[in-house]
Amino acid sequence: MIQAIGLTGPLGRRREPVVDDLTFDARPGAVTVLLGPPGAGKSTVLRLLLGLAPHRGAALVRGRPVRRIPRPAREIGALLDRPRPHPGRTVRGHLRLSAAAAGVPAARADELLEAVGMSGLADRRAATLSQGMERRLVLATALIGDPHTLLLDEPVRDLDPREAALLHGLVRGWAG
């Protein structure tokens, strides 16, 4: 479960908090969606939950702040903003580096390449990927530790309908 309790921060341009006293529970097995107009603070909430921005209040994953989780990639996967793999790395190299950072076997990279339909692209450089393929690669990166929770920030933004449907299917499949 993810909990936000009185979550407040960081200060915006007007020296007021971007997020002010937010409290909610995201229960296991449920999809929780943050809705709001552009600039409302949805992306900021995700950063606060992950401990990537200064805040007051509590942001907990299974009762603990992310900074207290020994191997966070094994518990929570995140796709924030517009993440980009290093353009010079191969698709497989990117995932193997992520696997090493998460403390999981390198073979996990090949499992995920298969799962996201990119096995045939394993030796391509990230710079040559289409936007949809790149998004699949960063989703695979979020899944590298086989986490129980995913935080996705606009995962289908700017994708064509076919790629968006494919990504939705991958996430639904992961959720079971």
Taking the model in full, what pTM does it have? 0.88
Are 10 and 27 part of one and the same domain? yes
The C-alpha torsion from 142 through 152 and 118 to 95, rounded to 10°, is -20
58, 79: one domain = no
Going from the C-alpha of 136 to that of each of 47, 84, 140, 167, 172, the distances in angstroms are: 21, 11, 6, 7, 14
pLDDT for 46 beyond 80: yes
In the numeric block, which tokens belong to residue 160? 């064509």
Contact 90, 139 (CB under 8 A): no
One domain for residues 44 and 32: yes
Tokens representing residue 149 in the block: 């929770």
Domain boundary among 21, 52, 69: 69
Regarding whether 169 and 88 lie in a shared domain, the answer is: yes
In tens, the pLDDT along 115-167 reads: 999 999 999 999 999 988 999 999 999 999 999 999 999 888 888 899 899 88
Check whether residue 42 and residue 57 sit in a common domain: yes
Pair (65, 78) in one structural domain: no
d(CA 110, CA 146): 13
Indicate if 104 and 137 belong to the same structural domain. yes
Task: Verify that 60 and 90 share a domain, yes or no.
Answer: no
**In the chain, which ranges are E strands?**
2-11, 17-26, 56-61, 76-79, 149-152
The pLDDT confidence band at residue 15, using thresholds 50, 70 and 90, is confident
Please say which residue of 19, 41, 69 terminates a domain.
69
CA–CA gap between residue 48 and residue 131 (Å, rounded): 27
The residue with greater pLDDT, 28 or 90, is: 90
Domain that holds residue 20: 1-69
d(CA 139, CA 134): 9
Q: How confident is residue 169, by pLDDT bands cut at 50, 70 and 90?
A: confident
Residues 173 and 154 in one domain: yes
Q: Give the domain CATH number at 52.
A: 3.40.50.300
Q: What is the distance, to the nearest Å, from the Cα of residue 1 to the centroid of all Cα atoms in its chain? A: 16
62 and 77 belong to one structural domain = no
Judge if 153 and 102 occupy the same domain.
yes
Q: Are residues 143 and 160 in the same domain?
A: yes
Whether residue 176 has pLDDT greater than 80: no
Residue 100 pLDDT exceeds 80: yes
Identify the domain boundary among 19, 37, 69. Answer: 69
The C-alpha torsion from 137 through 138 and 140 to 144, rounded to 10°, is 130
pLDDT for residue 172: 82
| Domain total in the chain | 2
Here the tokens at position 55 are 């805040």
